[in-house]
Amino acid sequence: MAATENARIAAGTRIGHVHLKVANIDRALQFYCGVLGFELMQKYGSQAAFISAGGYHHHIGLNSWESAGGSPPPPGTTGLYHLAILYPTRADLADALKRLAAHGIALDGASDHGVSEALYLRDPDENGVELYVDRPADQWPRNQDGSLAMGTRRLDLEDLLRSAKN
């Protein structure tokens, strides 16, 4: 099905939450709440949990309904590439980087995309996770025709850490 001009999604549309299948709820909560700092909003026994930032009903749902004790999908299959968590400030992203290091969580990568700065890692179930902060739109790199000129350069982690609040 081809996209048409009158089929555009509303500009204010946002993705509300993501729901992940995990092998072990407590292990997932240890990562998302214990390392990244999300707040547990509700837990349904040992099979599901809902977590948020700032008291919202949930940004991430975790469940083991079909995946308890399961393994990650093998390479070369379809599925979620990564979930992206947008931080409000560069200092908040730097604090997240400090927490990752304190918990010994390795990065898969760290990139400056021109429009954003991003950290890439894996959760305990091998789901890809991107932690990022956007630059103000007036600072986004543009081509001469005004289109975006995003790219991928190595992110200077030492410079990012200097932005940390703590």
- Model confidence at 146: pLDDT above 60: yes
**Is the domain of 95 the same as that of 61?**
no
What pLDDT sits at residue 11?
Answer: 86
Instruction: Indicate whether 5 belongs to any domain.
Output: no
Judge contact between 94 and 164, C-beta under 8 A: yes
Angstrom distance (rounded) from CA 60 to CA 64: 13
Instruction: Indicate whether 7 belongs to any domain.
Output: no
**Is the domain of 61 the same as that of 86?**
no
- Model confidence at 76: pLDDT above 70: yes
- pLDDT band per the 50, 70, 90 thresholds, residue 5: low
- pLDDT band per the 50, 70, 90 thresholds, residue 156: very high
Q: What is the mean pLDDT of residues 27-44?
A: 97
Phi, psi angles (nearest 5°) of residue 133: -135, 135
**Is the domain of 165 the same as that of 93?**
yes
What confidence tens digit (pLDDT) does each residue in 93-134 have? 999 999 999 999 999 999 999 999 999 999 999 999 999 999
**Is the domain of 118 the same as that of 56?**
no
**Is the domain of 88 the same as that of 48?**
no
What pLDDT sits at residue 117?
Answer: 98
Range of the domain at 97: 80-166
Angstrom distance (rounded) from CA 129 to CA 119: 8
**Is the domain of 61 the same as that of 85?**
no
Angstrom distance (rounded) from CA 124 to CA 42: 20
Instruction: Indicate whether 156 belongs to any domain.
Output: yes
- Model confidence at 4: pLDDT above 80: no
| CATH number of the domain bearing residue 156 | 3.10.180.10
Return the closest-CA partner of residue 108 out of 85, 139, 131, 79.
131
- pLDDT band per the 50, 70, 90 thresholds, residue 2: low
Judge contact between 133 and 93, C-beta under 8 A: yes
Instruction: Indicate whether 160 belongs to any domain.
Output: yes
- Model confidence at 166: pLDDT above 90: no
Percent of the chain with pLDDT over 90: 86
Could you count the other beta carbons within 10 Å of the beta carbon of residue 40? 14
- The H or E element containing residue 83 is strand 83-86
**Is the domain of 108 the same as that of 37?**
no
Q: Is the dihedral of CA 122, 123, 127, 132 positive or negative?
A: negative
**Is the domain of 127 the same as that of 150?**
yes
Q: What is the mean pLDDT of residues 132-155?
A: 96
Instruction: Indicate whether 131 belongs to any domain.
Output: yes
**Is the domain of 115 the same as that of 166?**
yes
- The H or E element containing residue 120 is strand 116-122
**Is the domain of 84 the same as that of 61?**
no
> Which of 6-20, 36-50, 132-146 has the weakest average pLDDT?
6-20
What pLDDT sits at residue 3?
Answer: 56
